[in-house]
Structure 1
Amino acid sequence: MRQIFAALLVAVTGCANASAAERMLVAPAPVRDETPKTELQTAVLAGGCFWGVEGVFERLQGVTSVKSGYAGGNKMTAKYSVIGTGLTGHAEAVEIRYDPKKITYGTLLRIFYSVAHDPTQLNRQGPDTGTQYRSAIFPQTPEQAQLAKAYIAQLEAARTWGKIVTTIEPDKPFYTAETYHQNYLRANPTQPYIVYNDLPKVEALKKLFPTLWSNKPAA
């Protein structure tokens, strides 16, 4: 459905980059960040269709891998054909493996709020609607949960946006999505949905955070 919608929208408007102007904001750097670590860490975030979210985070220096998948529900319903009902509890999410010596959890959250999605849209992102497209953080540690809560409070105090609707959902496993969803943006750069909804996010990352940009996407 999302591919069909975007194709029609591009055909009617003739403007593939219109969504880039929808929101291109630089969130403030987090006041609090994770304690120094030496081993690779994992973050799980959900911000609408995982194709574009994956496309953003795979372009960050210090990120070693990004996988598209599902979080919030159980293993039996972690399937693309099922989560579309919006009744499984799952959200389309990405699992990010990163080197905390090169990029921190706080920086990942900053990118999440700046260019990866719109945190004020409740149970939707752009043309996609349903709880599976909600804004959510799935902390992998108690420290991540504390940092996420603190950063959301910081953003709301700064009044950069309206009310932030991101949920914080600890203790929810991540399940890797089907193979054809992995590296989808890079494999389908001319698909109308990708062109209209996702490539502007990647371009915004490159423009707004040039020192974090990686010319080589993570595996």
Structure 2
Amino acid sequence: MFGSRFGGSSLKVSPREVPAPDYDPPQPAGRAEAVLAGGCFWCTEAVYRELDGVLAVVSGYSGGSAETADYGTVCTGRSEHAEVIQIAYDPARVSYGELLRIFFAVAHDPTQLNRQGNDVGPQYRSAIFYADAEQKAVAERYIAQLDAAGVYTAPIVTRLETLAAFFEAEAYHQNYAALHPGQPYIQAVSTPKVEKLRAYFGEALR
């Protein structure tokens, strides 16, 4: 299994060999947003903060109601929320499809159902919260493309969910990995993802 060097992965190929999306149409100029769920938001946030063209990354919750959008409730696994990151980016510098490529190649394992490693529960599900029909189309086509290419040892289980709302997480969760580099979980889970990004996608970094 290729990903064992970086803490485990279902990839059969180098992250660099995960193909870019065949369908990735240009977006209007300005500021765009993407909302992705790939396990603990501390770790996915750390990856995307490194990318050129990313303007801001905010950890939060999507999938449930405002009343249950707090860490304690989300951790029960009964809130319908997933831990997500909201990525603000400049489409002239990085495309939505390129963000998805990093999501599938580096940020998480898209073949794990309702978990990422030892983080278990629907709050850790793999999901793309699409804001419009174009985002949905890019994601749908890309998942089909990756499955057809056979770059993983198992089928992709990433869910496509309508983005009804994004709720910002508590302040202490924001930029957590950078502020707590010595924390054991960060060292074991987050740091290897960032190292993988730097090793295989160095030209995409800020």
TM-score bin (small chain): over 0.9
Q: Alpha-carbon deviations, 1:15-73, whole Å to 9, x = none?
A: xxx77141362321110103232111000000000000000001000000000000000
Shift of residue 127, structure 1, vs aligned partner: 1.1
Q: Is the 8 A contact 1:69 1:92 kept in 2?
A: yes
Answering whether residue 144 of structure 2 is matched by residue 150 of structure 1, we say no
Answering whether residue 151 of structure 2 is matched by residue 160 of structure 1, we say yes
CA distance in 1, matches of 2:164, 2:150: 29
What is the DSSP-based 3-state SS (H/G/I as helix, E as strand, rest coil) of the residue aligned with 1:194?
helix
CA distance in 2, matches of 1:163, 1:173: 28
CA distance in 2, matches of 1:146, 1:89: 24
TM-score (norm 2): 0.93
Q: Is the 8 A contact 2:108 2:116 kept in 1?
A: yes
What is the DSSP-based 3-state SS (H/G/I as helix, E as strand, rest coil) of the residue aligned with 1:51?
helix
Q: Is the 8 A contact 1:34 1:144 kept in 2?
A: no
For structure 1, the residue ranges without an aligned partner over 5 or more in a row are: 1-17, 215-219
Aligned match of 1:6: none
Answering whether residue 55 of structure 2 is matched by residue 64 of structure 1, we say yes
CA distance in 2, matches of 1:195, 1:20: 12
The AA in structure 2 aligned to 1:142 is A
Answering whether residue 177 of structure 2 is matched by residue 195 of structure 1, we say no
Aligned match of 2:177: 185
Answering whether residue 197 of structure 2 is matched by residue 205 of structure 1, we say yes
For structure 2, the residue ranges without an aligned partner over 5 or more in a row are: none
Q: Is the 8 A contact 2:26 2:95 kept in 1?
A: no
Answering whether residue 69 of structure 2 is matched by residue 114 of structure 1, we say no
CA distance in 1, matches of 2:188, 2:163: 34
Q: Is the 8 A contact 1:80 1:178 kept in 2?
A: yes
CA distance in 2, matches of 1:191, 1:34: 40
Identity of aligned residues (%): 49
The AA in structure 2 aligned to 1:164 is I
Q: Is the 8 A contact 1:69 1:175 kept in 2?
A: yes
Aligned match of 1:3: none
Aligned match of 1:25: 15
Answering whether residue 120 of structure 2 is matched by residue 134 of structure 1, we say no
What is the DSSP-based 3-state SS (H/G/I as helix, E as strand, rest coil) of the residue aligned with 1:138?
strand
CA distance in 2, matches of 1:172, 1:31: 27
**Aligned-CA RMSD value:** 1.1
Aligned length: 197
What is the DSSP-based 3-state SS (H/G/I as helix, E as strand, rest coil) of the residue aligned with 2:15?
coil
CA distance in 2, matches of 1:137, 1:21: 23
